[in-house]
Amino acid sequence: MGLLSLVTGKAGSSGFGSASTAEEVAQGINASNLTAIVTGGASGIGAETVRVLALRGAHVIIGVRNVDAGKAVKDDILRQTKGARVDVLPLDLSSMESVKKFANDFHALNLPLNILINNAGVMFCPFKLSEDGLEMHFATNHVGHFLLTNLLLDNMKKTAKETGVEGRVVNLSSVAHFLTYDEGIQFNRINDESGYSDKKAYGQSKLANILHAKELSRRLKEEGANVTANSVHPGFIMTSLMRHSMNLMRFLNFFSRFLWKSVPQGAATTCYVALHPDLKGVGGKYFDDCNEVNPSLFAQDKDLAMKLWDFSMRLIK
């Protein structure tokens, strides 16, 4: 969209821009026939995404590590929106066992699935390995969502086939995917503490989110499934995700206030890509400020996307 559009809020070709809110982009959309899962929906833009989807009538399942926080979001939405349908299930994306349990718990509800929003994540955290032995950014932001998507995809395909309603997978990435390691994805050094950079590790995981959506989209199209997959950059929003670098974020916010969004604005691109009818049939794209933009060269690399897919499949198996 460009810096000028970001600063002014000028709308792009979609009719929306950086100043648009999640409620605005979903205005007039009836989602009462849709079931959606939002990971990390207990705070920040995740909670706002849940609220707006529920406001438009969707049945929303929040997958969240802090179940009490998820229930608080649910209760708040139910107070605001009469007849809203929101449920909460425990989910720790850094644990493959937890991801599998969440998928089993969801399947036990015997619900259809139209929308999967892979929203949760960690950011700029100190070096740490997950219980599965993977660097925490890569484990939580990419591998957990990759596994979750794989476990839920058959349900999404079945739902789309039986209802005729297109399914949508939305991966939350970030413009930070431009700042990654020299080779893009360090396949042979994912867990290398000696060369660890919290900024590059985060960027690597966000690059993986885009490549995942890109390769998933290619496979879905090849299969003829009525499901799309895209990735989004929500914008710069001051949320608890930044807790490991809060002082730095406050410093940057002080000197660049015009670049930062409110939480309702930050959730807009996610809701646009998940709900808007103009994106019917659109897959494998990257969106910023509710408009399609070009990601980094690494993120456009089809061979890298396929290599990451194969690598990720080995990890989850």
Residue 4 corresponds to which tokens in the numbers above?
A: 């000028």
Q: What is the mean pLDDT of residues 276-285?
A: 98
- Report the chain's mean pLDDT, rounded to a whole number: 93
Instruction: Please write the tens of the pLDDT for every residue from 105-157.
Output: 999 999 999 999 999 999 999 999 999 999 999 999 999 999 999 999 999 99
Per-residue pLDDT, 105: 98
Q: What is the mean pLDDT of residues 257-263?
A: 77
For residue 304, name the pLDDT band (cuts at 50, 70, 90): very high
Instruction: Please write the tens of the pLDDT for every residue from 61-117.
Output: 999 999 999 999 999 999 999 999 999 999 999 999 999 999 999 999 999 999 999
Q: In whole angstroms, give the CA distance from residue 263 to residue 238.
A: 8
Tokens 């994106």 belong to residue? 279
Per-residue pLDDT, 239: 53
Per-residue pLDDT, 273: 98
Per-residue pLDDT, 244: 43
Per-residue pLDDT, 9: 65
**CATH number of the structural domain spanning residue 130:** 3.40.50.720
Report the domain count for the chain: 1
Per-position b or e across 123-159, b if 16+ CB within 10 A of its CB: bbbeeeebebebbbbbbbbbbbbbbbbbbbbebbbeb
Q: What is the mean pLDDT of residues 277-284?
A: 98
Per-residue pLDDT, 254: 47
On the question of pLDDT at 176 being above 70, the answer is yes
Residue 106 corresponds to which tokens in the numbers above?
A: 């969801």
The alpha carbon of residue 108 and the mean position of all alpha carbons in its chain are separated, in whole angstroms, by 24
Say if CB 70 and CB 88 are below 8 A apart.
Answer: yes
Full-model pTM: 0.92
Q: In whole angstroms, give the CA distance from residue 297 to residue 310.
A: 20
Per-residue pLDDT, 256: 45
For residue 237, name the pLDDT band (cuts at 50, 70, 90): confident
3-state secondary structure of 316: helix
The β-bridge relationship of strands 291-293 and 227-233 is: unpaired
SS3 content of the chain, % helix, strand, coil (to 5): 50, 15, 35
Q: What is the mean pLDDT of residues 218-242?
A: 88
Q: What is the mean pLDDT of residues 236-259?
A: 54
Residue type, 84: A
Residue 135 corresponds to which tokens in the numbers above?
A: 């660097």
The count of C-alpha atoms lying within 13 angstroms of the C-alpha of 158, restricted to the half-sphere facing its C-beta, is 10
Q: Which domain holds residue 70?
A: 3-316
Question: Known catalytic residue: 196?
Answer: yes
Angle of CA points 179, 142, 107, to nearest 5°: 155
Per-residue pLDDT, 116: 99
| DSSP β-bridge partners for residue 35 | 59
Per-residue pLDDT, 260: 79
- Please name which of 98, 89, 51, 96 lies closest in space to residue 71, comparing C-alpha atoms: 89
Residue 267 corresponds to which tokens in the numbers above?
A: 């959730």
Residue 1 corresponds to which tokens in the numbers above?
A: 């969209």
Q: In whole angstroms, give the CA distance from residue 17 to residue 159.
A: 32
Instruction: Please write the tens of the pLDDT for every residue from 4-55.
Output: 455 556 799 999 999 999 999 999 999 999 999 999 999 999 999 999 999 9
Helices (H), the chain: 3-8, 22-25, 44-55, 67-80, 96-108, 136-137, 144-163, 198-223, 246-255, 263-266, 268-275, 302-316
Tokens 């644990």 belong to residue? 95
Per-residue pLDDT, 207: 98
On the question of pLDDT at 255 being above 50, the answer is no
Tokens 């590790």 belong to residue? 201
For residue 1, name the pLDDT band (cuts at 50, 70, 90): low
Q: What is the mean pLDDT of residues 166-181?
A: 98
Q: In whole angstroms, give the CA distance from residue 126 to residue 121.
A: 14
Q: Which of 181, 196, 202, 272 is catalytic?
A: 196
